[in-house]
Amino acid sequence: MTDKPTLGVGMVGYAFMGQAHSQAWRTVNAAFDLPYAVEMTAICGRNKDNVAAAAAKFGWKSYETDWRALVNRDDVGLIDICSPGGNHAEVAIAALEAGKHVLCEKPLANTVEEAREMVKAAEAAASKGVKAMVAFNYRRVPAAAFARKLVQDGKLGTIRHVRAVYLQDWIVDPEFPLVWRLKKEEAGSGALGDIASHIVDLSQFITGQTITGVSGLTETFIKERPLVASTEGLRGTGSSERGQVTVDDCALFVARLSGGAVATYEATRFALGRKNGLRIEINGSKGSLVFDLERLNELELYLDEDDNTTQGFRRVLITEAEHPYMSAWWPAGHIIGWEHSFTHEVYDFVTAIGNGTDPEPSFADGLQVQQVLDAVEKSATSGSGWVSIASA
């Protein structure tokens, strides 16, 4: 028994991100001391059979087939949006106006205009104590959070240069079907919004600097793909009917940051052999660090102050109780996984709700990332080169 108030969660979406977020909601009560007893109240999806199966598999008490019904439930106080970007704005704004806290997957929206409307709704709701946060989960990897602390503490000195890449290979097959992530009306953009948004946010989070201008290019390598009735499969279908791919397959850009640093960014889903290759290198006047998601319990750290006879990059294992989030888990040296970042994310959000503090990253932060993505797309489409980014 607990005397904590209950916070009922309603989640929109039950596919990849829905499964990841469900894992987080299942474990957060056991891992952390929360101001609320979190309850997995209801999950929502359009297909009744599929969402019912997801509710049973993932541990939700009930399900809905209309997100409006979910938003209107009295036993739901928080809406978690894990659906494609095409309906983020509509669902989030309705939920905030109904007085529900909102956690929304990245990127915040498909367009800058939608993101601005979401920020307006979040600001209006905040005056009534309703909280909103965008779900950039890689901020919650302990090694990434510790990298930020090293920069904040001045260990790297003045940040001068950033290199960030996110490489995947899951759509290299020309017969891979035309899923929603390859349609602009549903996804907004391709590799740019799907994975470059992560390295934009994460590099800004670690350095404490924001991108002020970009020059970029994008490319779509495979222009048409097979149409399929179902988008559940991940392999080629052999279908003879084909549709147009309306998003980018890769995005490359250079950038300037607000603190004077320069940066390069590369995102593609066409790098054979790279399954989830996110890597960020930060170079400063006193040292450098490297974070690699495929080795997410580690940092590579180089400090200029070290004796030059033994100087070099060192491997720092991020498993000590003193490292961010790690006191909730296992003894030192016992590693955690990708899914823990989502548990940390919902822990931070629920804690902010309970404490009445502003969660980060905010919808305004999500808008700023959206503006960067928009600037890259404008630069690439127009071929005009440099595009400055105005403040959100």
For domain 139-361+369-382, the CATH superfamily is Dihydrodipicolinate Reductase; domain 2 (3.30.360.10)
> Thinking of the domain 6-137, which architecture would CATH place it in?
3-Layer(aba) Sandwich (3.40)
pLDDT at res. 291: 98
Distance CA 255, CA 251 (A): 13
pLDDT in tens, 212-242: 999 999 999 999 999 975 444 445 555 679 9
Average pLDDT, the chain: 95
CB-based contact 268:277 (threshold 8 Å): no
Q: What is the residue extent of each domain of the chain?
A: 6-137, 139-361+369-382
pLDDT confidence bin for 383, thresholds 50/70/90:
confident
Backbone angles phi, psi at 51, to 5 degrees: -75, -30
Which pLDDT score is estimated for 355?
97
Residue 252 has pLDDT above 80, yes or no: yes
pLDDT of residue 384: 80
Residue 73 predicted with pLDDT over 60: yes
How far is the CA of 207 from the CAs of 131, 135, 245, 310, in angstroms? 25, 19, 35, 27
Dump pLDDT digits (tens) for 165-185.
999 999 999 999 999 999 999
Residues 6+ apart with CB under 8 A from 189: 110, 247, 248, 251, 373, 377
pTM, rounded to two decimals: 0.95
Do 6-137 and 139-361+369-382 share a fold? no
Which residue bears the tokens 């808008």?
A: 367
Contact yes or no for 95/71 (Cβ under 8 A): yes
% of residues, the chain, pLDDT over 70: 96
Please state the rounded mean pLDDT for residues 143-149: 98
d(CA 348, CA 194): 23
> What's the one-letter identity of residue 369?
V
| pLDDT exceeds 50 at position 158 | yes
Task: Give pLDDT, residue 231.
Answer: 44
pLDDT score for 3: 86
Mean predicted confidence (pLDDT) in 38-53? 97
> Order of strands across the sheet with 78-81?
62-64, 37-44, 6-12, 78-81, 101-105, 132-135
